[in-house]
Amino acid sequence: MLIASIAAISLFALAAPLAHGAWRRGAGPLLALGVGSVFARLAWVAPDVTAGAVTLERFAWAPQLGLEVALRLDGLALLMSLLITGVGAVVLLFASASLRDHPALGRFYATLLAFMASMLGLVLADNALLAFVFWELTSITSYLLIGLDHHRAEARKAATQALLTTGAGGLALLAGLVTLCEAAGTYQLSELVTRAEVLDHPALTPAIALILAGCFTKSAQFPFWAWLPGAMEAPTAVSAYLHSSTMVKAGVYLIARLSPLLSGVALWDSSLVVVGAATALGAAFVGSRQTYFKRVLAYSTVSSLGTMVMLLGLGAGGATAAAVFLLAHALYKGALFLVAGVVDHATHVKDSERLGALWRSLPITATAAALAGLSMAGVPGLLGFAGKELWVKESLHALQGGWTPWLIGAVAGAGALNAAMAAQVALRPFWLAAPSSAGAHAPAKDPAHAHGPAWPLWIGPALMALAGLIGGVSPGLFAAPVALAAADAIAGLSPGAPGAADVPLDVGHLVKPGPALYLSLGAVAAGLAVFALRRAYRAATRPASALDPLGPQSAYAAAYSGVLGTAQAITRVTQNGSLHFYLRVTLGFVSVVGWGTLWRAWAGASEPIPRTPVGPIEAALVAGTAVSVAAMVLLRTRLAVIAALGAAGYCVASLFAVYGAPDLAMTQFAVETLSVVLLVLVLYHLPRFPVFRLTAARVVDAAIALSVGALMSGLVLLAAGVQLAEPVSAYFSQNASALANGRNVVNVIIVDFRALDTLGEITVLAIAALGVLALLDVRAERPGPRASAPGQPADAHPNPAHAPADGALAGRAPTIGGPA
């Protein structure tokens, strides 16, 4: 059934563009109906699940990695999947009307349904890696949804910010999950949360930090919340669905999922409470100063997410409160977003201060807004009240547990400001008089909308607001069982077990005189006061905007430009296009690594370096080699350099002769001569060496060259001390006459012992000679330097010193067999 649900929605996603092409108007309701049937299927089994039945389905995927398609339906998954499919069906219906004329509606349906399938997969997944796969899929589909209107630059920017933030968080999450699961030895989440021995594992702390980083970015906690208000660039249907009811709750969901294991770990609990409380208060403060519908709702969503995170850090009681709050929030915030969409659709005004008295033209929407707003403010009789009441109660409870009183301040402040925001979006535009200022909009005069919006637009907010009302008035009908089953799952208990949550949610039980009630009613009153005095409040808090440069959006911008800046700096320094620079770095690295290894390896050890007596001839030859090499470096004409190179080679060859290797010496003489001739032929036409570099640069070059040279010389000396085997020369001199009947040992070696070598050498030389002949031939055909040498290579070289050399190479190359 679970896999079938995901598969069904994926199938809808695939079919959506076709359906849209075939039926146009009818496609949206049809798809909504399909999603609704999945919702109904899940609701059908809900009584069993709330009674404690757990459905488990497993299919193989990549068992070598511990990845399998394991799906599990328990109380928490049930709550989330009902929200995903229920709100999803309503949102699809809404979108079919609100985006009726959007050019990419078919693509929108497909992406939204793909998102829905991923989200459903995420909450049903019982395998950590599978959950991660779906987690990333929700990021990608959300990216596409935010960027739906991709002709707008802000939409593209917001989409990128959302994806970068949640994507980076996702990677952290992956690392954290792998660490945790490897420590526990299982990737099955339901199994993992029972492995209490992990709590002593040294990798626990980094794992927690990484997992929380992932969850906090996804659920827009401080300081990562900046992407969520930006994501409101998406169509309202997307905001209502992804950015209030479902996707942003993924982080909260995962925290809840891991709670049975990690709740009680000091780092986990305190991070959740501190970050959650800071987010709840901070976002509520920022949001209470906004007037644009969606911005107010966005920040209040962030604030509510903070509340849930904070509650999850408060133990089992907090879990119950979090579950109830999650359900209540999804219902009222989804409704309010859709209401904002209806208002936008009807009036094309996005600023709630510029609207008023909309109840006349939008009566049903206004009623839904009122119900949702009351629920959000936490007025008794609505589900939101239960959520808020439990929240306050748990915070007071935590105070006894040793938490700082600041926590209560944050809770009260966030509650009051949320009530103010509720009034701003649900009260101001609908029930207060229209502002008299010039920008006021009077929708009733607009004949196109005189009859109110189409039914698919208002049915969604109405249904969700109604659900909030029913949940508040008669919680036993659906709200309490579902939320409490979820709370049990968060606490790691099965429903009905001792200690399982059985908090009564009906008003009669909750409205009991006590500090909690006073505090929460006081918060509502304070919120209304803030709303009434909102102009003075906004003016008074204006100095707080001086903190914006320290805020999350600036942090994101700083991180973004920091990465780019660092990258540019690295590029400028390392990638300047000069072969000379590349060689310098590479050789420098070889030298550092070589010397480092030598120094490290020889710390303590000492092996004698063999010494052999040096005669005057040898000394002279070595000196000659050194002088030639020095001359080669210092000389300025190519011919002279080639001559010096040849001289160095001749000195080395003579050294061979002195040490009794005439064959080697002869070969060397021949090779040297040939090289000089070839080099002269090839390099004859190149220009003189200009002096490109400053003295300082030449000093650096010399230092690197000497260092590498010294390293290599040192290695040769060391290697000379290694005697691995009997020298083969003894064998040769003993067997030369016995086996080969020759008295000249060198001759015997060349033509007998190493006959195959000799044959190979001869072949190579012959081929080389043929090549030389061909070169000379080509030159003979084209006498004189060519008139039209190609210009600079296309690559622009910032280093002027480099370009001529490359140009020359590229220019010469065609004569040697290129496409001339």
Partner 1 sequence: MIEKIQALWPEIALFVTACVVMVIGLSPSAAVRRLCGVVTGLGLLAAGALAYTTPAVNPALPGLALYGKAMVAGIGLVLLLLASGTVDREYESFLARGGEGAGGQGRAEYEPLRSTKGEFYAFFLFSLTGLMLTAGATDLVWLFLALELTSLPTYVMVTISSGRDRSMEAGVKYFFLGAMGAATFLYGFAMLYGGTGTTSLGGIANALAAQRAAPGGQINPIAMLGLVLSVVGIGFKIAAVPMHFYTADVYQGASPSVAGFLAFVPKAAGFFALLSLCAAVGWGPTGDTLAEPLRSVLWVMAALTMTVGNALAVVQTSLRRVLAYSSVAHSGYMLVGVIAGPGPAGGGTLMTSGVAAVLFYLLAYGLTNAGSFAVLGCLERVRPDGQAEELDSIEDVRGLCQDRPLLGWALVLSVMSLLGLPPLLGFFAKLPLFGAGLNAGEYALVVVLALNSAVAAFYYLRVAAAAVLEPGQVGRGPVSVRPTTARWRPMAAFVSAAGVVALAIYPVTGWALFGARQGADARSEPAQRAAAEPALPSDPHAASVGATPPAPAE
Q: Binding of partner 1 at residue 208 (CB under 8 A)?
A: no
Nearest distance, CB of residue 598 and partner 1, angstroms: 6
Tell me the residue length of the chain. Answer: 820
179 near partner 1, rule: CB under 8 A: yes
Residues 282-341 binding partner 1 (CB under 8 A) are none
Per CB under 8 A, contacts with partner 1 among 770-789 are 786-788
Report the chain's C-alpha Rg in angstroms. Answer: 39
352 C-beta neighbours (distance < 10 Å), count: 24
Nearest alpha-carbon partner for 459 in 104, 146, 96: 96
| Residue 132 in contact with partner 1, rule: CB under 8 A | yes
What the block records as the tokens of 483 is 């939320």
Residue 813 beta carbon to partner 1: minimum distance, rounded to whole angstroms: 5
Nearer to partner 1, 532 or 563 (CB): 563
Q: Is 175 in the site for partner 1 (CB under 8 A)?
A: yes
CB 582 → partner 1: shortest distance, Å?
4
User: What is residue 188's three-state secondary structure?
Assistant: strand
Residue 255 phi/psi, 5-degree rounding, is: -60, -45
* Near partner 1 in 40-99, by CB under 8 A: 59-67, 69
Residue with the two structure tokens 């296009």 = 577
Does 106 interact with partner 1 (rule: CB under 8 A)? Answer: no
Pick the binder of partner 1 from 17, 765, 810, 815 (CB under 8 A). Answer: 810
813 contacts partner 1 (rule: CB under 8 A): yes
Find the binder of partner 1 among 29, 147, 235, 461 (CB under 8 A).
Answer: 147
586-605 residues near partner 1, rule: CB under 8 A: 586-590, 593-594, 596-598, 600-602, 605
- What is d(CA 447, CA 430) in angstroms, rounded to the nearest whole number? 19
Q: Select the residue interacting with partner 1 from 549, 660, 709, 790 (CB under 8 A).
A: 790
At 49, the amino acid letter reads V
Q: From the CB of 571, what's the least distance to partner 1, in Å?
A: 5
| Mask for 525-564, x = binds partner 1 (CB under 8 A) | --------------------------------------xx
Strand partners, 28: none
User: Could you give the CA distance from residue 231 to residue 234 in angstroms, rounded to a whole number?
Assistant: 6
Of 168 and 772, nearer to partner 1 (C-beta) is 168
| Near partner 1 by CB under 8 A: residue from 172, 256, 366, 459 | 172
Cα 728 to chain centroid, rounded: 61
CA end-to-end span of the chain: 70
- 763 near partner 1 (CB under 8 A): no
CA atoms of 665 and 687, how far apart (whole Å)? 33
Contact criterion met (CB below 8 Å) for 459 and 339: no
Per the CB < 8 A criterion, the answer to whether 468 and 332 are in contact is yes
Residue with smaller CB distance to partner 1, 448 or 719: 719
Give the binding range for partner 1 (CB under 8 A) out of 44-52, 168-176, 441-449, 626-634: 168-176
* Cβ pair 692, 805 in contact under 8 A: no
The amino acid sitting at 319 is A
- 334 close to 493: Cβ distance less than 8 angstroms: no
Is residue 7 part of the contact set for partner 1 (CB under 8 A)? no
CA trace torsion 501, 502, 506, 512 (10° rounding): -90
Query: Which residue's CB is nearer to partner 1, number 60 or number 696?
Result: 60
What is the x/- site pattern for partner 1, positions 664-703, by CB under 8 A? ----------------------------------------
Among 513, 543, 727, 819, the residue binding partner 1 under the rule CB under 8 A is 819
For residue 78, give both structure tokens.
Answer: 């049930």
Does 235 bind partner 1 (CB under 8 A)? Our answer is no
Q: Which range binds partner 1 by CB under 8 A, 243-251, 268-276, 639-647, 804-812? A: 804-812
Strand partners, 55: 73
Q: Which stretch binds partner 1 (CB under 8 A): 8-16, 165-173, 352-360, 476-484?
A: 165-173
In the complex, the smallest distance separating the C-beta of residue 709 from partner 1, rounded to whole angstroms, is 13
CA dihedral 168, 84, 427, 95 (to 10 degrees): 90
CA angle 289-293-296, nearest 5°? 40
- Separation between Cα atoms, residue 157 and residue 37, nearest integer Å: 36
State the minimum distance, in angstroms, from the CB of residue 620 to partner 1.
29
> According to CB under 8 A, which residues from 714 to 753 bind partner 1?
715, 718-719, 722, 724-725
Residues in contact with partner 1, total (CB under 8 A)? 89
**Are the C-beta atoms of residues 389 and 520 closer than 8 Å to each other?**
yes
